[in-house]
């Protein structure tokens, strides 16, 4: 089976765009691929975190992965920091990465814009750690959003460079772009994507929002001043709501538009809120059970770590041998 690897940073709140854009596909891929899903806590450190929040979010994100359908018996669910191999391989890869390449990363440029003294080295070397995550497991496919494609291309370039210099070692990873699935945009500003780290929580619907909050956020979401329900780029707010509706209900955009002919925006909004509430209910129920037992989650992390360690040790020892590091005796 081909390998799939992906990860989410435990920062902010997992929201419906993470579900529709990533986790929903991760669940499907479990049947056809060997999957590794990481909680990339080391990546989160590039932005200052409150220690207690970070700790809670690692558990919470894992519980949400599982509640959404990631099955720890089928897939590897692992916490990045439980596997020192990630940081070790990162060092080696950093010696094969050029400053010019990292300087070209648009995410780094965006995140460091307007700052000078407070840009930390981790933010700059972030893509090398991501390359390490991917190459360590010899991943064939990496499901990522458009904003991460450049990082994935860098991973390929680094892998290629290593393979050329030292002989074939790394699988060259390819992006996995799901066929369906529209980009989910912010509820208050449909020109930017819905982000789990948005400081304004009216912009997103968290997977753990309660029904009242969901209804309120959808009702208050930005739509244009017209009245007719049509799907067009001229009505980006409404278009976004229809996309969310379609993704959650599996009803096509055309059918939704037909269904709401002559109806008001508010009709669509109320129905959409109901659909989201119904979809999230079983996820939230399962989540509440999982999160109440951290020791069970610790066990899942241990199983994930052991499986991941087996795979990553194989790659790491091969790398160390090929570059000329000597082995220490047992
Ligand atoms: N950088 C990714 C993001 O912010 C998260 C990530 C870290 C990742 N390591 C990864 C994604 C490896 C895919 C594969 O979305």
Q: How far apart are CA 121 and CA 31, in angstroms?
A: 39
**Candidate from 79, 105, 133, 153 with most ligand 1 atoms within 8 A of CB, to mutate:** 133
The catalytic site residues sit at: 111, 193, 196
Query: Ligand 1: does its nearest atom lie under 6 Å from the Cβ of 6?
Result: yes
Tell how far the Cα of 112 is from the centroid of ligand 1, in angstroms.
18
Tell how far the Cα of 326 is from the centroid of ligand 1, in angstroms.
31
Q: Give one DSSP letter per residue of 187-217, joined into a string.
A: SS-TTSB--TT-SSGGG--BTT--HHHHHHH
Tell how far the Cα of 149 is from the centroid of ligand 1, in angstroms.
10
Do residues 269 and 241 touch, judged by C-beta distance below 8 A?
yes
pLDDT at 180: 67
Q: Could you tell me which of 233, 282, 232, 224 has the C-alpha nearest to residue 19?
A: 282
Read off the pTM: 0.95
pLDDT at 116: 78
Query: Ligand 1: does its nearest atom lie under 6 Å from the Cβ of 133?
Result: yes
**Candidate from 4, 5, 8 with most ligand 1 atoms within 8 A of CB, to mutate:** 8
Query: Ligand 1: does its nearest atom lie under 6 Å from the Cβ of 43?
Result: yes
Tell how far the Cα of 271 is from the centroid of ligand 1, in angstroms.
34
Burial of 8 (0-12, 13-18, 19+ CB in 10 A): buried
Q: Could you tell me which of 219, 229, 227, 222 has the C-alpha nearest to residue 254?
A: 229
**Candidate from 140, 148, 159 with most ligand 1 atoms within 8 A of CB, to mutate:** 148
Q: How far apart are CA 165 and CA 162, in angstroms?
A: 5
Q: Which two tokens stand for residue 61?
A: 């994100």
Q: Could you tell me which of 58, 60, 68, 66 has the C-alpha nearest to residue 24?
A: 68
The closest-lying atom of ligand 1 relative to the alpha carbon of residue 127 is: 1
Query: Ligand 1: does its nearest atom lie under 6 Å from the Cβ of 39?
Result: no
Tell how far the Cα of 6 is from the centroid of ligand 1, in angstroms.
6
Residue whose Cα lies nearest atom 13 of ligand 1: it is: 6
Q: How far apart are CA 99 and CA 121, in angstroms?
A: 12
Query: What string of pLDDT tens digits covers the 330 residues of the chain?
Result: 999 999 999 999 999 999 999 999 999 999 999 999 999 999 999 999 999 999 999 999 999 999 999 999 999 999 999 999 999 999 999 999 999 999 999 999 999 998 878 899 999 999 999 999 999 999 999 998 888 999 999 999 999 999 999 999 999 999 998 776 678 999 999 999 999 999 999 999 999 999 999 999 999 999 988 889 999 999 999 999 999 999 999 999 999 999 999 999 999 999 999 999 999 999 999 999 999 999 999 999 999 999 999 999 999 999 999 999 999 898
| Sheet with 174-176, side-by-side order of all strands | 76-79, 34-39, 3-8, 141-143, 174-176
Strand duo 141-143 + 34-39: pairing? unpaired
Q: Could you tell me which of 231, 275, 284, 269 has the C-alpha nearest to residue 249?
A: 275
Residue whose Cα lies nearest atom 6 of ligand 1: it is: 7
The 3-state DSSP class for residue 300 equals helix
Do residues 107 and 147 touch, judged by C-beta distance below 8 A?
yes
pLDDT at 183: 87
Query: Ligand 1: does its nearest atom lie under 6 Å from the Cβ of 5?
Result: yes
Residue whose Cα lies nearest atom 8 of ligand 1: it is: 7
Do residues 154 and 132 touch, judged by C-beta distance below 8 A?
no
């Amino acid at each position: 089976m081909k390998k799939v690897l992906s990860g989410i940073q435990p920062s902010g709140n997992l929201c419906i765009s993470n579900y529709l854009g990533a986790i929903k596909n991760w669940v499907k891929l479990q049947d056809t691929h060997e999957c590794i899903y990481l909680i990339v806590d080391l990546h989160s450190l590039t932005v200052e975190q409150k220690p207690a929040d970070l700790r809670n979010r690692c558990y919470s994100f894992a519980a949400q992965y599982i509640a959404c359908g990631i099955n720890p018996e089928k897939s590897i669910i692992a916490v990045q920091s439980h596997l020192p191999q990630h940081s070790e391989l990162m060092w080696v890869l950093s010696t094969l990465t050029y400053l010019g390449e990292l300087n070209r990363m648009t995410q780094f440029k965006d995140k460091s814009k307007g700052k000078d003294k407070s840009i930390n080295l981790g933010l700059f070397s972030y893509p090398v750690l991501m390359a390490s995550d991917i190459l360590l497991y010899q991943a064939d496919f990496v499901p990522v959003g458009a904003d991460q494609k450049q990082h994935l291309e860098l991973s390929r370039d680094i892998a290629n460079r290593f393979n050329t210099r030292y002989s074939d070692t790394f699988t060259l990873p390819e992006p996995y772009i799901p066929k369906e699935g529209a980009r989910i945009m912010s509820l208050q500003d449909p020109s930017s994507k819905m982000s789990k780290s948005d400081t304004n929580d009216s912009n997103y619907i968290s997977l753990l929002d309660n029904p009242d909050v969901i209804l309120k956020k959808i009702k208050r979401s930005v739509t244009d001043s017209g009245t007719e329900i049509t799907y067009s780029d001229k009505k980006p707010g409404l278009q976004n709501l229809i996309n969310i509706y379609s993704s959650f209900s599996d009803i096509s955009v055309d059918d939704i538009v037909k269904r709401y002919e002559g109806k008001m925006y508010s009709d669509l909004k109320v129905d959409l809120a109901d659909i989201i509430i119904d979809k999230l209910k079983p996820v939230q129920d399962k989540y509440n059970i999982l999160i109440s037992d951290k020791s069970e989650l610790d066990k899942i992390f241990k199983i994930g770590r052991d499986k991941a360690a087996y795979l990553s040790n194989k790659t790491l020892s091969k790398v160390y041998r090929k570059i000329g590091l000597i082995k220490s005796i047992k």
